[in-house]
Amino acid sequence: MRLTVYTDYSLRVLMYLAIPRSRPVTISEIAASYGVSRNHLMKVVYELGVAGYIETIRGKNGGMRLAKATRAINLGEVVRRTEPDMALVPCFDPVNAPCAITSACKLSGALHRAREAFLAVLDEYTLADLTDNPSALGELLALAPARAAAGPPAVRSRRTTASPPSSR
């Protein structure tokens, strides 16, 4: 099973917003911290707002924050909302992808059970479970406590150690 990038970004945005800070967060901050496109996050943020997971604040000091407690955001629910087509194989949609062996096929039943098991495991977790280590997450996302209150995170250099800088 593979989740879409949209679902991945949705979960990442929620995790980012779950890290305590004293001000709203911007899409640009999240994009910079994860190294992803701001444009991709715009639709994700809009849809998370429509779903009631986040609230947005307009204005100079605007941004977004969680609209629910982290314990109230269930991962299975988020994945179901962001993955409307959980068809693992084309025959899960018999109208658009008819299969010659549908009436005798046991594979589809096994795949349905596997999908339900996958979602059942996600139903056991909340956003609080994913973010019970805010200090570690904040450090990895360049949100050290002092910077979290002071402003957007600095973009870190991604220079590798494979080739040392030239000595010119």
CATH class (in words) of the domain with range 5-84+127-150: mainly alpha
Contact in structure between 55 and 16 (CB atoms under 8 Å):
no
Local confidence band at 104 (pLDDT 50, 70, 90 cut-offs): confident
Mean pLDDT for the stretch of residues 24-42: 93
The more confident residue out of 7 and 140 is 7
Instruction: Answer yes or no: is pLDDT of 127 > 90.
Output: yes
Mean pLDDT for the stretch of residues 130-140: 87
Task: State the average pLDDT for the chain.
Answer: 81
Contact in structure between 16 and 30 (CB atoms under 8 Å):
yes
Mean pLDDT for the stretch of residues 18-41: 92
Mean pLDDT comparison of 39-48, 127-136, 156-165, highest-scoring range: 39-48
Task: Write down the pTM of the prediction.
Answer: 0.76
The more confident residue out of 39 and 92 is 39
Instruction: Answer yes or no: is pLDDT of 164 > 70.
Output: no
Task: State how far the alpha carbon of 6 is from the alpha carbons of 22, 26, 80, 95, 132, in Å.
Answer: 27, 18, 12, 26, 23
pLDDT in the model for residue 97: 67
Q: Which residues of 18-52 are buried (b: 16+ CB within 10 A; e: fewer)?
A: bbebeebbbbebbbbbbebeeeebeebbebbeebe
pLDDT in the model for residue 95: 64
Local confidence band at 55 (pLDDT 50, 70, 90 cut-offs): very high
